[in-house]
Structure 1
Amino acid sequence: MMRRRLLVIVFLICTLFELCSADAASDTEIIKKLLEHGYDWRVRPPGINLTIPGTHGAVIVNVNMLIRSISKIDDVNMEYSVQLTFREEWVDGRLAYGTPNDENPSFLILTAGQKIWMPDSFFQNEKMAHRHLIDKPNVLIRIHKDGKILYSVRISMVLSCPMHLNDYPMDVQVCLIDLASYAYTESDIEYRWKPENPVQLKNGLNSSLPSFELTNVTTDLCTSQTNTGVYSCLRTKLELRRQFSYYLLQLYIPSTMLVIVSWVSFWLDRGAVPARVTLGVTTLLTMTTQASGINAKLPPVSYTKAIDVWIGACLTFIFGALLEFAWVTYISSRSFYRHKTVDSARGSLLIGAKQAMIIPNTTLRKFSDPAQNIEMGLPLEEDNEVWIRQTLPTSNGIPNHLNDEAAELIVFGPRKIRKTLKITQFIRNLRLYRWFQRRFEVQDNAKRADLVSRALFPTLFLFFNLWYWTTYSRYKVPDAK
C-alpha cells in the first residue's frame, strides 16, 4: 500500500515537471519565432490607422510616469534632480502571437539582449541621467499577445529649470520635464499622454523636498518645429512653491531685530559717543554680513529680487540711524561754539549801550488806553502803538516818580501782516500743534533731533513693512516657456 502511494506521488511530480517544461519551452519558442523569422528591430513598425496607405500612419506611443522623488533644487545652477519610473506603450503588429481567447500566455517578458524596435525618446531639458542597475537592470519589456508592448525603466536625471527670482524667497517655480523623439518626426511617432493618471506621485513625495512644496502637477503638449521637421513632444509641469518658514527665521526676524537695535542709539545721550558709534557700526556690519551670506546662495541675476529690497531697506534704516548721530553731533558742536561767540559779543554790546544809548533819569512805558487817546485828539488807528518817554525830576540826585512832567509821545504805525504769517499764526493756535510744541519744545536742537527720530524711524519702517508684505506676499506662478 505504501509502495503504491509512492508511485502515485512520483507520477504526479513527473507530470508537473513535464507541464512546466512544456510551458517554458512554449514561451521560448514563441519569442524565438517572433524575433528570428524575418523580424528587423531597426525598422519602425507600421501604424494602426488602416485608412492611411503604406505605413498606416505614425506609431502612437502612450506615455505615463511615476515620480518617485525630487531633490537638490539648485538655485545657482538652475537645475533639479528627479527620479522617476518612465513607461511607454505602443503596438508592434509584427510581434502579435495570438488571439484573446487562445491558450497562449497573456504576455511575454523579454530579457536583456533580446532586441525589439523601441521609440528613440529623450528628455529635452536633461543635463545628466542614468539608469539604475542594482541589483539587476531596472528595465521591463512586456509583449502582449495582440502586439502591444510595455516598456518601463527607472531613471534618475538632472534637469534644467530656468527660474524667475523676482519674488524670492516668496516665489513659485515651474520646472518642466519635456519628452520628445530624437530622430522620428511627427509623421513617424506621435506621443500621447495616457488618458488616466498620466503622471503619478509617490506617497510622501513632498517630504523629499528640502525647501519646496509640490503644489500642482499638470501635463501639456510642446510640439516643436526645427529645420529637420516637426517633432511630437510631451511636457510635464511641476509647480514648486518655496517654503518661507526657513527665511522668516533665518533672515526676516534677525534683520528686523538689527534695525530695532540700531534705534537704541536715539535714547542714548549724545555725549556717549563710543556707545552710539559702536552700536551703529556693529549693526551695519552684521547686516552686511547677513546679506552677503544670502546672496552667496543665489545666481547673479540682473534684476532686483524681493530679498534685495528687504536687505536694502534694512541697511538704509541702520545707516540712517548712524547718520542721525553724526547730524546730532554736528548740531551740538555748532550750537556750543555759536553760543560761546554770541555770549562774548553780547557782553561788549551791552557795555557800549550803557555808555552811549541809555539816557539817565528817563522812563519808557507803553500808552494804550483808548479813552485817553480820544481825549488827546490823536488820529490813531487800531493797530497803532503809543509809547511815552518821560523825564523824571530828581530830589537830591534821586529820581522822583510822584511828579508828572511833560512827556514825549512815540507813536509806531501799524505792522503789515502777510497772509502766510496769518496762516502760520492760525496753525500755532491749534490745540494739536500746541500739544506737539509742548512735547517736543526743547531748547537743545540736538536733543530735539533725537526726539523726532524716535518717532520717525519706527513709523517709516512700519509703512515700509505694510508696502513690502502687501506687494510680495502674494505667490505668483510664472509662465513656463
Structure 2
Amino acid sequence: MESLLTISILILKVAASSAWNYGGGMNMTTLLDSLLDDYDRRLRPGFGGPPLVVKTDILVRSMGPMSEKDMIYSMDCYFRQFWQDARLAFNATMQGISELSLSSRMLERIWYPDTFFLNGGRSYLHSITSPNKFFRLQSDGNIYFSQRLTIKAHCRMDLESFPMDTQKCPLRVGSFGYSHDDVIYIWRYGNKEAISIYPDVTMSQFDIIGLPANNASKYLKGAVHSILTVFFHMRRHTGYFLIQVYVPCCLLVVLSWVSFWINREATSDRIALGTTTILTMTFLALENRDDLPHVAYYTALDIYVVMCFLFVMASIVQFAAVHYFTKYSTDDREMMSDDSEGELEESYLTTSTTAGGGIFTEGGCNRCLQCLTKWGKCILDKRNRKFNKHVRNALGLNSVSKIDKVSRFLFPAAFIAINIFYWVTYLPS
C-alpha cells in the first residue's frame, strides 16, 4: 500500500513538472504583456522624481583610420548603457529566472535613453546579418543595452609638431533632449576604466598611450546637460615619414654637394645637377602637403622640407659665386695678358721679318728658332684663354676654387648642426 502511494506521488510530480515546462513560454509571454499593459514609453523612469542615472562603458574593437585632412577619427566599438526602470520589475522566482535576454524589438515598446555623440560624424549601427543590438532585462527592472557601432568623431588636431606630434581626440556622450535635471550620465566602472580596448588592437599611424575620462555638465540648447568625455591620447609613428620624406630630402641635399667636386668650368653639368635637385625637392614638398589640411601655420615637416630646399638652392648660388669670381679674377686678366702678348709676338715677328728680309736670310734661322720657342711657351701657358680646357684638364693644369674647398666642409657641418637642433627640438621626450 505504501509503495503504491509513493509511485502515485512521483507520477503526479512528473506530470506537474511537464505541464509547468510546457506552459513556461506562455507564462513568460503573459508576464511581459502584463508589464507593458499600463506602460507609457513617452515618460522616463521615475518621471517627476530625481534624475535617472544612466551608466555607460565602451569596449573598443578597432581604431582608425585617422584623417588629418578632415580631422576625423573612427573606431569600431560596443557601446553599452545600463539604467533601471522600476515599471519593468517582475517576479519569476517560481521558474528560477532572474534575468531575461530579449529581442532588440522590445526597445520599440519601452523608454530608453536618447544618447548621442556630441562630436560625432557619420556613425552607423552594424546591421549584418541583423541589427547588432543586445537587450537584457533583470527582475529588479535593471536594463542592460549594448550595440555595436562604428563611430566617426571630429578631432581638432594641433599639427605644429607633425609628424612628431601627439593628439588628444575626445569622444563626448550625452542626452540629446534631456537636461541634467532628468538624466545624468556616469561611467559604469569609474573614470579610470571608462574605456576598455581589445589587446590586439593596433593602429598603423598611432600608438594609444592614455585614455583619460571625466564626467561634467555643459550648457547646451538652453539647459545644463550631463556630458561624458573620454580622450584618446595617441602618439604618431614617424617611421613612414622618415622613409618617404626625411631620408629622400637628406639624400637630395647630399647629392647637391657633389657639384663642389665638379670642375668649375663644367658649367652645364653643375647647373643641370642643381636644377634636378631643386625640381625633385619641389615635387616632394607638394606631394607631402596634399595629405594635410590647409592650416594657417607651418608644421615641423614643412620646416624640414624648406630647410633642405634652401640648402639645395644654396649650392646653386655657391656655384654662381664660384663662376663669377673665377671669371673676374683670372679670365679677364688672362684675356688682357694674352692680347698684349699676342700683340708683342706679332710685332716681333713682323720686325724680324722686315728687318732680316726673311727668315731664311742670314741670321733668319736664329730668329725663327726664337719665334718657335716663344710660340711653344705661349701654347703651354695655362693662362691662355684660348687653350682647350679639356687638354688642361688632362694635364692637371686647372686650379680648384677656394670657395669650393671651403664649401666641401662648411655645407655638411652646417647641415649636421641644423639637423641636431631640429631633432632635439621636435622629438618627443
TM-score computed with the length of structure 1 as normaliser: 0.70
Matches of 2:15 and 2:162, distance apart in 1: 72
- Are 1:255 and 1:314, in contact at CA under 8 Å, matched by a contact in 2? yes
1:148 Cα deviation (Å)?
Answer: 0.7
Distance in 2 (alpha carbons) for counterparts of 1:278 and 1:346:
36
Of the three residues 154, 162, 165, the one matched with 1:168 is: 162
Does residue 231 (structure 1) correspond to residue 237 (structure 2)? The answer is no
Aligned to 1:91: 84
Structure 1 residue 20 corresponds to structure 2 residue 21: yes
Within a 5 Å distance, the mapping from 1:321-340 to structure 2 comes to: 321-340=315-334
Q: Which digits, 9 at most, give the CA deviation of each residue in 1:175-223, with x for residues without a partner?
A: 11110101100010000011253211012111xx221112211211242
Give the alignment partner of residue 194 of structure 2, picking from 173, 194, 198. 198
How far did residue 278 of structure 1 move? 1.4
Q: Give unpaired runs (5+ residues) of structure 2.
A: 1-10, 342-397
Whether contact under 8 Å (1:176, 1:237) holds in the other structure is yes
- Structural mapping, 1:401-420, within 5 Å: none
CA 1:260–1:461 in 2, change beyond 3 Å: closer, same or farther? Answer: same
Equivalents in 2 of 1:326, 1:294: separation in Å?
Answer: 30
Q: Is the 8 A contact 1:331 1:445 kept in 2?
A: no
CA distance in 2, matches of 1:60, 1:102: 31
Matched with 1:116 is 110
Decide which structure has greater helix share: 2
SS in 2 for 1:450: helix
Alignment map for 1:298-447 (pairs within 5 Å): 298-340=292-334, 343=337, 447=401
Change (3 A) 1:311 1:17: farther
Pairing 1:42–2:42 present: yes
**In the TM superposition, what is the alpha-carbon distance from 1:340 to its structure 2 partner?**
3.5
Tell me, yes or no, if the aligned pair for 2:133 and 2:147 is still in contact at 8 Å: yes
Alignment root-mean-square deviation, CA:
2.6
- Counterpart residue type for residue 158 of structure 2: H
The answer for the alignment partner of 1:469 in structure 2 is 423
For residues 211 and 265 of structure 1, do their structure 2 counterparts lie closer, same or farther at Cα, with a shift above 3 Å needed?
A: same
* C-alpha contact 1:81 1:157 (8 A) present in aligned 2: yes
Look up the SS of the partner of 1:328 in the other structure. helix
Mapped to 1, the partners of 2:33 and 2:89 lie a distance apart of 13
Report the secondary structure of 1:126's partner residue.
coil
| 1:27, distance to aligned residue in structure 2 (A) | 1.8
Secondary structure of the residue aligned to 1:45 is coil
- Residue in structure 1 matched with residue 353 of structure 2 by the alignment: none
Counterpart CA distance in 2 for 1:305 and 1:12 is 81
Letter of the 2:129 counterpart:
D
Amino acid at match of 2:91: G
Q: Quote the residue 1:182 is aligned against.
A: 176
Deviation for aligned residue 1:102: 6.2
Amino acid at match of 1:23: G
Verify the 8 A CA contact 1:76 1:298 in the aligned structure 2. yes
Structure 2 CA distance, aligned partners of 1:289 and 1:11? 90
Q: CA deviation at 1:334?
A: 1.3
Following superposition, the deviation at residue 145 of structure 1 comes to 0.8
**Offset, 1:13:** 9.8
SS in 2 for 1:67: strand
- C-alpha distance 11-104 of structure 1, shift in aligned 2 (>3 A): closer
Instruction: Confirm or deny: 8 A CA contact 2:68 2:293 kept in the other structure.
Output: yes
Structure 1 partner of 2:371: none
Contact 2:78 2:148 (C-alpha < 8 Å) held by counterparts? yes
Is residue 241 of structure 2 the alignment partner of residue 240 of structure 1? no
Q: For residues 438-457 of structure 1, what are the structure 2 equivalents within 5 Å? A: 447-457=401-411
Give the distance between the partners of 1:218 and 1:31, measured in 2 at CA: 41
Counterparts in 2 of 1:14 and 1:265: CA distance versus 1, 3 Å: farther
Aligned 8 A contact 2:57 2:189 in 1? no
Name the CA shift for 1:229/1:343 in 2 (closer, same or farther; >3 Å): same
CA contact (8 A) 2:187 2:194 kept: yes
Q: State the AA in 1 paired with 2:196.
A: Q
Distance across 1 between alignment mates of 2:167 and 2:260: 43
- Displacement of 1:445 after TM fit? 9.6
Cα shift at 1:68: 0.9
Between structure 1 and structure 2, the one with the greater Rg is: 1
Matches of 2:338 and 2:139 in 1, distance apart? 116
Give unpaired runs (5+ residues) of structure 1: 1-9, 48-54, 348-443, 476-481
Taking a change above 3 Å as real, the CA distance of residues 61 and 335 of structure 1, as seen in their structure-2 partners, is: same
Cα distance in structure 2, aligned partners of 1:227 and 1:23: 48
Alignment partner, residue 140 of structure 1: 134
User: Contact 1:59 / 1:189 at 8 angstroms: preserved in 2?
Assistant: yes
Q: Kindly report structure 1 stretches of 4+ aligned residues shifted beyond 6 Å.
A: 10-16, 344-347
User: Does the aligned pair in 2 maintain the 1:178–1:222 contact within 8 Å?
Assistant: no
Query: Which amino acid in 2 is paired with 1:136?
Result: S
Determine if contact 1:67/1:84 at 8 Å carries over to the other structure: yes
Kept in 1, the 8 Å contact 2:76–2:149? The answer is: yes
| In 2, Cα distance between equivalents of 1:281 and 1:13 | 97
- In percent, how many aligned pairs have the same letter? 31
Contact 1:46 1:58 in 2 (8 A): yes
Q: Is residue 76 from structure 1 mapped to residue 77 from structure 2 by the alignment? A: no
TM-score by length of 2: 0.79
- In structure 2, the residue matched to 1:425 is none
Q: Which letter does structure 2 place at the counterpart of 1:151?
A: F
Deviation of 1:98 after TM superposition, in Å, equals 3.0
SS of equivalent to 1:127: coil
SS at match of 2:405: helix
Q: CA deviation at 1:472?
A: 0.3
